[in-house]
Amino acid sequence: MPTPTITTTPSEQAGRPTRRGSTSWRLLWIVLAVAAATAAVVLFASSGARDQPPLSNGDFETGDFTGWSTEDWGRSGEWLIYEDGTTPPNPSVTDDNPPFEVPDPPQGQYAAVTDMEYSGARFLYRDIEVTGPWTLHAIVFYENGIETIYDPLYFGTFNGDTWFANVRSQQFRIDLVDPQAPINSVEADDILATVFRTQSGDPPSLEPTPVTFDLSPWEGQTVRLRATQIDNGGPFRAGIDDVRLEWAN
């Protein structure tokens, strides 16, 4: 019986190098695909980091004022975190005329709003270290309990017990101020810029509205973002949410 032999046809011989070649190409394509995917992930991660300079709890989603400071002047009224636009976040600090009714938080579950039973001035603020060419972004809104905005650049005085203002003031404004200045300062040297403000003649309410402001002129400095709400003509609910930093174009 002849010894079995393994024979190879010319076509198979020709095919072997071809198969090895196709395997090599397949490997090369896999390597290239993995490299491309890795590059895409790296690019995505770096562009994502670039899009979000840090500003902790600018959206109030911790459900409290972590990262922020508040100061409330007056017998009854304050900045509060709320979830539902028709439920006073602190029922012991609210006026029934008109009752608390504001838009629901425009971003996420929580936002900041003022509520009050008596007249006063309320400050919500935080310091921002401007370490890049950033744009400030926020969403603002308000519900004035009376028809008229009164906008004097005057926040009244507070002796720790009683708030006093000798002119009508019914307004909401957001300024960039010198971090070293007193919280109620309206001195021209202390107010670096005004991001938003209600003015005489404005409508009595504003739906949630985005505002942006270029912070790049203060790059390398620390500025204080100060939101101020004042009323002595009726309740004035002012709200803010989604405060964040973006890279300026």
Q: From its phi and psi, is residue 12 left (phi > 0), alpha (psi between -120 and 50) or beta?
A: alpha
Of 59 and 151, CB closest to Ca ion = 59
Of 60 and 73, CB closest to Ca ion = 60
220 close to 132: Cβ distance less than 8 angstroms: no
Minimum distance, C-beta of residue 112 to Ca ion, in the bound complex (Å): 8
Minimum distance, C-beta of residue 123 to Ca ion, in the bound complex (Å): 20
Of 59 and 143, CB closest to Ca ion = 59
Of 110 and 236, CB closest to Ca ion = 110
Minimum distance, C-beta of residue 59 to Ca ion, in the bound complex (Å): 4
Which stretches of the chain bind Ca ion, using CB under 5 A?
Answer: 59-60, 105, 107-108, 110-111, 241
Start-to-end CA span in the chain (Å)? 86
Q: Find the residue with minimal CB distance to Ca ion.
A: 108
Q: Which residue blocks in 52-182 are alpha helix, DSSP H?
A: none
235 close to 98: Cβ distance less than 8 angstroms: yes
In angstroms, the CA 113 to CA 141 distance is: 9
In angstroms, the CA 244 to CA 212 distance is: 10
Minimum distance, C-beta of residue 173 to Ca ion, in the bound complex (Å): 21
